[in-house]
Structure 1
C-alpha cells in the first residue's frame, strides 16, 4: 500500500505521535514522495523516522526517510504479508519475496560461502514454515534486516534483491531469440565482426556470441594469416574443446587423411562429430589460404529445414526425430597418440521435453552401418534421410560463398550444417587450401555472456 497524500500522512503523524525524532519537521511536497527533513538533529542525518503501521492494516514496521536518490536503487516502502515480504522500490516497481526463499538464500557467512558462491545452509536444517519476528530497513546500508523465528538474523542488500524476480527468469540468455534463415542470408547479410574489436571490447564480444545464438552463423574478419589467431579468438571466450583431433586442427589436403575433410573431395552438408555424446557447440574455421580451384563454403539452417519439414511432411519428421541413427569414428588420437573408437546413437532431429527442435545430428560420412529398427523399416529410414538431405539443398535453403583469406566462419554446430564444394591442388602448388579449425562449447559461451552482461548492467 502506497502512502499517497502528504496531508494524510500529517494526520497520522499528529494523531498517533509516531515521529520518534523530535527535530524532524515534515515539509509538504506533492505526491509521490512526502518528504521528511531533519533540522539540527543530534542523531545521524541518515537516521530514519520510523512509523508503526497503526491504522494502515499492516503487520510490521515501515519507514519513511530522506527521499531516495532516483538514480540509485533504494526501497520506497516495505510491508509483510502472511508469507512474503513485499518491497516497493524508488522507481515504483514492486517485488514479493517469500519467507522460506529469503531464509534459504541468506547471504551471511553461516549460510553462504563467499569464495565458492555456494550455499552452506543444509536442507535438513531449513524450516519451510520459518517466519520473520521483525523486518526492518537499514537506510544507511540500503538493506533489509530480518530476524527469523529460528533465531537467525539475515541482511539482504537492496541491489541484490532488486535484480531478482521470482516470477520470471533472471538469465539474460533467455532474452535472446533465434531467427531462422534460408538463401536470403547472402554473404553481405551474415553478421560480421572484427577480430580486433572482439579481442579488445567486451560489448563486441557479447554481440558476436549473441549473433551465434540468434542466427547460428557469423563471420569474423581481420584474423590475417596467423594460424594462432583462431586459438586466441576461442580463448577470448573459453578454453577450446578438446576432441580426438586435438585442441585445434589443420584442414588441408593430405595424401593419408584420417578424415575426408583433409582431402579435396566434396563435403556434403553435415554437423561435426555426432559420434560424441556431447557434440562441440560452435565451430570456427579460419581461412588462411583459399583455393582458386573450388572449395566454396556451403551452409544451411537445419532448424529452418526441420521446422518446414514438420509442417509439410510430419511423417518424415516423426521418423527423423524418433529413430536413433548410429555415428562412429575410429583413428589415432591427435594428442594422446592412442587408438580411439567413438560411437553414439541419436536421432537426426533431437527434440527437447517441450517437443521443440533442440539439435540437428547429420553426417553421412560417419553414419554407422547398424540400424535401430527391424529390416521391414530400414527403407523408411533411408527415405527420410534422403528427404532431409534434399531439403537442405533446396534453392531457398542453401547459401554458398568463398571464404576469404583472413576471415573465419563461425557457426552453431548443433543447428547449422556446413559443407564445401570439391577443390583441386594443382601439381607444384606452393599455397594449397588451408583452414584452421577449433571448437568451443555452448555451456562456456553462455557462461561468458552472463559474465559480460553483469558487467554491462
Structure 2
C-alpha cells in the first residue's frame, strides 16, 4: 500500500510506492496542481503564474490511496489530488543513471541484418490514416530512418511529405535542395559519384532534425542508398576500444 509522510515544516512530502520513496516539494506540487483553477481542463495550459503562489506555501495534510495522493496547501486551504501514475512520470527526485553511450529504451540499434525488414510505409496510407502515420514516425524515432513508397511524382511533392508531420526549415540552399547531375558541378551531390557515409549539416545551429530525401526520377543505373547506424558504430567502438570512445566523448570536434 502506498504511504505518504510530511516533513516537520510541511515543505516536503515523501511518497513511497512499491518500496521506492520519492520526495515532492510543496511549492512544486502547488505550481503543478492539476485542478481546473490552476490548469485549463480543455487544453491543459496553465492559468496561474509562479508569482501567484504564496511563497510560504506548505502542506498541512497528505493522504494517499491506491490511485492518488491528496494534499492540502496552506495558507490557501486548497486540497488537490495527484494521480500516482502522474507523479511517477514527473518525479524529479530520483538518481540519474545515464552514462556515456546511453540510449533511450525506445531506440533500436541495427546493422545489415535489418535489410529483410526495413521500416516501410505507403504514402497514401500515411496521408489518410493517423495510425499509419504514427507507426511510420515511430519507426523513424526507433531506427533513425524509414522509407516511404508511392509518393506523387511532381515538382514540390517533397513538401507534401513534410506537411504530414512538421514544417520545412529553410537554409542557404533554399527550401529544397535539388540533387541533379551537372556538367560542371559545384557540389559532389551534382555528380554521379558515390558519396561515402556522412552526416549532413552537423555544423548548423540548430542541427537538422528529420531530413527527407525524395526521388522523383532516376535516369541512370545505380543510385543505391547506403545508411549507417551511427549509434551502433559508437556502441561497437565503446566495446572494442573503451579508451578511444572515452576520448571522443570528452572532446568536442570541430566540423569543417
Using the size of structure 2 for normalisation, the TM-score is 0.71
2:179 match = 251
1:47-446 alignment runs, 5 A limit: 81-82=5-6, 84=13, 98=24, 100=26, 101-107=28-34, 111-112=38-39, 117-118=45-46, 119-122=48-51, 125-127=54-56, 129-132=58-61, 148-156=73-81, 161=83, 163-166=85-88, 176-186=105-115, 188-255=116-183, 257-327=185-255, 367=256
Q: Which moved more, 1:108-117 or 1:195-204?
A: 108-117
Alpha-carbon distance in structure 1 between the residues aligned to 2:235 and 2:5:
47
Q: Gaps spanning 5+ residues in structure 1: where?
A: 2-77, 89-94, 138-142, 328-366, 368-457
Following superposition, the deviation at residue 295 of structure 1 comes to 2.2
Whether the 8 Å contact between 2:110 and 2:232 is mirrored in structure 1 is yes
Superposed CA deviations along residues 10-64 of structure 1, whole A, max 9, x for unmatched, are xxxxxxxxxxxxxxxxxxxxxxxxxxxxxxxxxxxxxxxxxxxxxxxxxxxxxxx
Whether the 8 Å contact between 1:272 and 1:279 is mirrored in structure 2 is no
Alpha-carbon distance in structure 1 between the residues aligned to 2:249 and 2:25:
44
Alpha-carbon distance in structure 2 between the residues aligned to 1:206 and 1:109:
30
C-alpha spacing 1:255/1:178, structure 2 compared with 1 (3 Å)? same
C-alpha spacing 1:291/1:176, structure 2 compared with 1 (3 Å)? farther
- Residue 177 of structure 2 aligns to a residue whose secondary structure is strand
Higher percent of residues as strand: 1
C-alpha spacing 1:298/1:148, structure 2 compared with 1 (3 Å)? closer
- Residue 210 of structure 1 aligns to a residue whose secondary structure is helix
- Residue 231 of structure 1 aligns to a residue whose secondary structure is helix
Following superposition, the deviation at residue 300 of structure 1 comes to 1.3
Alpha-carbon distance in structure 2 between the residues aligned to 1:79 and 1:307:
41
Alpha-carbon distance in structure 1 between the residues aligned to 2:161 and 2:37:
41
1:23-34 alignment runs, 5 A limit: none
Using the size of structure 1 for normalisation, the TM-score is 0.43
How many residue pairs get aligned? The number is 233
Give the number of the structure whose alpha-carbon radius of gyration is greater: 1
Following superposition, the deviation at residue 246 of structure 1 comes to 2.1
1:360 match = none
Whether the 8 Å contact between 2:59 and 2:71 is mirrored in structure 1 is no
- Residue 237 of structure 2 aligns to a residue whose secondary structure is helix
